[in-house]
Amino acid sequence: MYNEYNGYNAYTPPPPPPKKSGGNAWKIIVAVAASVLVFALVICTTAVFVTWIKNFYSARGDGELATEATSSSLDMYNPDQTKPAETSSSPVTATERPAPGEVQTDTTVSGDLLSASDIYYQNVDAVVSILVNGTTRTSWGEYPFTATGSGFIISSDGYIITCYHVVEGGQTFTITLFDGSEYEASYVGGDEVYDTAVLKIDGENLTAVALGDSDNIVVGEDVVVIGNPLELTFSVTKGIISATDRIIDVDESDSISVFQLDAAVNSGNSGGPIFNDRGEVIGMVDAKYAAEGVEGLGFALPINQVLNISDDLIAYGYVTGRPYFGISVSTARVERGYAVNGARIENIDAASCAARAGLKIGDIITGIDGRTVESASDLVSEKDNYRAGDTAVLTVWRNGEALSMTIVFDEAK
């Protein structure tokens, strides 16, 4: 019956059979023998593996195994994992300044087309990371600030070009090279209108970039950018030149010519070099158009313009004799309905040399001293070839007639 077995102690199992004498001793012997065999196998395998590793590293010439892993953080690459002692640069005085054009730059390239990787490794030693420390003044008082940006070395003795807005207001400037070495830089000079500045570090036989000719750039050609976006130091991006005819109004009377590119540029890229496919610097990263839904709109200063400004900054510490035209212009194109190609005058300063020369709103400037002007950027570039007080003869299209008008440039204040 079920109830007879319902209690917990109702069932009593039969006693186990008696154990045979000597059974446990045999099992112990077998277990010990197996352990000895496994241990011997492990020792032999380890010895073979260590010998193979030593032979592998010996074949590579590494000598011995590394004891520490290389850092994978965002710190700058340093092959020796040590940072050399800092060196300081004293301010460049007027007597030390070279005359315009005396700074020796390396402009020699092979002319061969290079891959982005080739361009990077041939030039990354000439690109620098810039750390700026300074003080900013607000209505609430003065506050310290830090900023970062990019730059590039143009001479083996340490002249560095960057954007003015990168170093504006800075009091100390720390330059870091790709190999991790650091220098304290002196401020040579800067120009807010053309957003160009020059720093100087004490150095010898430094790697300098090769300089190209931005007058020869064309829409669609490949470009490579090296810089320090968002403190991701010594990054490279690639793209194309999207446009060459872009004018940025700095203020009511000054405009600068830039070219447009679609290579990724971000905060920290400003001041970094832009290379063509032969490894020549053709521009400097200046700005990015940032808005929701907008991608690939970067702008750069042509290197010819940058060098014209930096030459004065190195020689004098400021841009001397900058010509003042007194007009703002836009590009006129036949395909857009204009009678001719040129730079159309949109506004005129009534107290300027342009007004005194008789120029009017709506005039289209098609030439200057016999050289063709087909766009607003052409006129801006041409103006940079003159100094305050220089005379130029303009070819102007007005009401179906080509006029010659003489202008004497004012000096920008």
Cβ(276)–Cβ(223) below 8 Å: yes
Active site residue 270: yes
Among the listed residues 195, 286, 312, 410, the single catalytic one is 195
CA–CA gap between residue 263 and residue 275 (Å, rounded): 11
Task: Return the H-helix or E-strand segment holding 168.
Answer: none
Strand partners, 344: 330, 364
Supply 39's token pair: 């241990």
43 Cβ neighbours under 8 A, 6+ residues apart? none
Task: Return the H-helix or E-strand segment holding 130.
Answer: strand 127-138
Supply 118's token pair: 């080739």
CA neighbor of 228 nearest in space, from 170, 289, 270 = 270
3-state helix, strand, coil in the chain (%, to 5): 25, 35, 45
CA neighbor of 221 nearest in space, from 268, 274, 271 = 274
Cβ(323)–Cβ(317) below 8 Å: no
Active site residue 195: yes
Among the listed residues 155, 242, 253, 270, the single catalytic one is 270
- Please report the DSSP string for 15-54 in residue order: PPPPPPTTHHHHHHHHHHHHHHHHHHHHHHHHHHHHHHHH
CA–CA gap between residue 196 and residue 153 (Å, rounded): 14
Using the structure block, give the residue that is written with the tokens 């060459």. Answer: 244
For the chain, give the number of residues: 413
Among the listed residues 89, 155, 165, 352, the single catalytic one is 165
Cβ(368)–Cβ(344) below 8 Å: no
CA angle (276 as vertex; 273, 282 as ends), nearest 5: 50
Strands 87-88 and 182-191: parallel
Write out the catalytic residue numbers. 165, 195, 270
